[in-house]
Amino acid sequence: MRHALIHLQSADPVLGRIIERVGPYRLESRPPTFETLVRSIVFQQLSGKVARVIFARLRDAMPAGEVTPENVLRLRSDRMRRLGLSAQKTQYIRDLARRTNRGQVDFTALPHAADEQVIAALTEVKGIGVWTAQMFLIFALARPDVLPTGDLGIRKAMQIAYNLSELPKPDTMESLAASWRPYCSIACWYLWRSLDGIAGI
């Protein structure tokens, strides 16, 4: 990590000042499991407080509190709705469970797959887009060089840090981040923290 921070600070003075202000790098990771991805789906487009309550209800509804594909599929859709999940998220979680059971999503293989392969596999699931797959790469698989150009927090942090007149588009973000590689994920963590917030799954 020391090498990554030295690289980022020397490559980009603007980011270097953010790193100095924020302090030590402390990414809170989660295991690269089915449960982690279900949690990510639950948290989509909800406040953290509301999402945590709904996810806790879902986990409590599972035998032994284990969020597994088998346990998800044992729950009826209407029961999942009563736990607070929307119809869409219920569908997404059940689709993930079915695909995992069939081996179409293999959580034991994902840690050994390239970033692009992980994104391709996860975005086959209903409700999982590139952003969710990228968050899984950063926060579950600890991949060091992911730039989520669709993340509003990163776009806003870049706009502020680089005095841009508007939220940057992906090509501008890629250009600004070129010198960060191969440590874009670490740079993004600092950008999130520069807004006094942190993304996660």
pLDDT digits (tens, 9 = 90+) for 55-69: 999 999 999 999 999
What integer pLDDT is reported at residue 47 of this predicted model?
Answer: 78
180: alpha, beta or left? (left if phi > 0; alpha if psi -120 to 50): alpha
Predicted confidence band at 201 (pLDDT cuts at 50, 70, 90)?
low
What integer pLDDT is reported at residue 48 of this predicted model?
Answer: 77
Predicted confidence band at 199 (pLDDT cuts at 50, 70, 90)?
low
Peptide bond before 69: cis, by omega within 30 degrees of 0? no
**Same fold for the pair 2-27+146-194 and 34-139:** no
Average pLDDT on 106-120 reads 97
Superfamily of domain 34-139: Hypothetical protein; domain 2 (1.10.340.30)
pLDDT digits (tens, 9 = 90+) for 123-171: 999 999 999 999 999 999 999 999 999 998 999 999 999 999 999 999 9
The CATH classification number of 2-27+146-194 equals 1.10.1670.40
CA-only gyration radius of the chain, Å = 18
SS (H, E, C) 18-67: HHHHHCCCCCCCCCCCHHHHHHHHHHCCCCHHHHHHHHHHHHHCCHHHCC
What integer pLDDT is reported at residue 58 of this predicted model?
Answer: 97
Average pLDDT on 73-83 reads 95
- CA 101 to chain CA centroid, Å, is 22
Question: Helices marked H in the chain — which ranges?
Answer: 2-11, 13-22, 34-43, 48-60, 69-74, 77-82, 87-101, 115-122, 130-139, 152-161, 170-177, 184-194
| SS3 (DSSP) at 72 | helix
pLDDT at 120 over 60: yes
Predicted confidence band at 116 (pLDDT cuts at 50, 70, 90)?
very high
What integer pLDDT is reported at residue 197 of this predicted model?
Answer: 54
Domain boundaries, the chain: 2-27+146-194, 34-139
Predicted confidence band at 52 (pLDDT cuts at 50, 70, 90)?
very high
Eight-class DSSP state of 101 = H
Q: Could you tell me which of 135, 136, 140, 171 has the C-alpha nearest to residue 153? A: 135
Q: What is the mean pLDDT of the chain?
A: 94
What integer pLDDT is reported at residue 28 of this predicted model?
Answer: 87
In the chain, the percentage of residues whose pLDDT exceeds 70 is 98
The two three-digit tokens of residue 45, written as one number: 């487009």
What integer pLDDT is reported at residue 178 of this predicted model?
Answer: 97
The two three-digit tokens of residue 7, written as one number: 């690289």
The model's pTM is 0.88
> What torsion do the CA atoms of 37, 130, 8, 141 make, to the nearest 10 degrees?
30
